Amino acid sequence: MTITELGVIGIVDAVTRSLRAQILAGDIAADTALTEAKVSASFGVARPSAKAAIEQLVASGLLVRTAHRSARVVAIDAAMVRDVYRTRTRLESAALRELATTRIVPDAATAANAEILALPAGPDPASVDPDLRFHTALIDGVASARTSRMYRSVLDEVRLCMAQVQGRRLLDARDIASQHAEILDAVSAGDGARAADLLAAHLASAEDRLVEALGE
């Protein structure tokens, strides 16, 4: 691979990261078209680099491209929320059962939950980041690069759901921390089935709140 090719890859990755951050922050609205010309002009990059960045975001599920149309930011609906959260549940439940066989509680999960517990009582947007890090730590705890990569792809769609739903009715931070602690206690006790059941209830509640907010 030449230095020029390495440089192009670096540019594409930088543009992809920037666009991804804007989409997940809600700065680029749902159904907004992202054309090669628009991305090229916005970032001052060549159109092939813009195209490559767009295609990476299409592959990650943040953009969608239909026949004869430009790539657009995915507009979430209730069916997508349900599918995203149930996919999370499948992946995380499997991880919890595996962790429970060795009674391993990932340190990163404990640390993330401590951050949530330290927040003031009540719903708080500041709980979102440590909450997602808690769940990611469960996946990473099984030490599978492929599983972690799959999960992070789903996690982008979770963040997209959150970005596009205003007033998403977050749980009280103390309730989130309490539910997380119950899950970790079950893992520590070697009860993978209970840990998976607690997780399913925890994520189903979040799923229902997002779908309800969409209806509003």
Asked if residue 106 lies in contact with residue 140, where contact means CB atoms within 8 angstroms, the answer is yes
Predicted pLDDT at 126: 84
76: left (phi over 0), alpha (psi -120 to 50) or beta: beta
What b-and-e string marks burial along 107-145, b requiring 16 or more CB atoms within 10 Å of the CB? eebeebbebbbebeeeebeebbebbebbbbbbbbbbeee
Other beta carbons within 10 angstroms of residue 4's beta carbon come to 8
- CA distances, 186 to each of 90, 136, 182 (Å): 17, 18, 6
Q: With beta carbons less than 8 A apart as the criterion, state whether 159 and 85 touch.
A: no
Chain segment 139-175, per-residue pLDDT in tens: 999 999 999 999 998 888 888 887 777 555 677 889 9
Beta bridge partners of 73: 63
For the chain, give the longest Cα–Cα distance.
56
Tokens of 123: 């719903």
What local confidence, expressed as pLDDT, does residue 76 receive? 86
Rounded to two decimals, the pTM is 0.80
Domains observed in the chain: 3-73 (1.10.10.10), 78-215 (1.20.120.530)
Residue ranges of the chain with per-residue pLDDT less than 50: 1-6
Q: Which two tokens stand for residue 174?
A: 């103390």
How many angstroms separate the CA atoms of 165 and 190, rounded? 37
Can you give the pLDDT at residue 7?
A: 54
pLDDT score for 2? 36
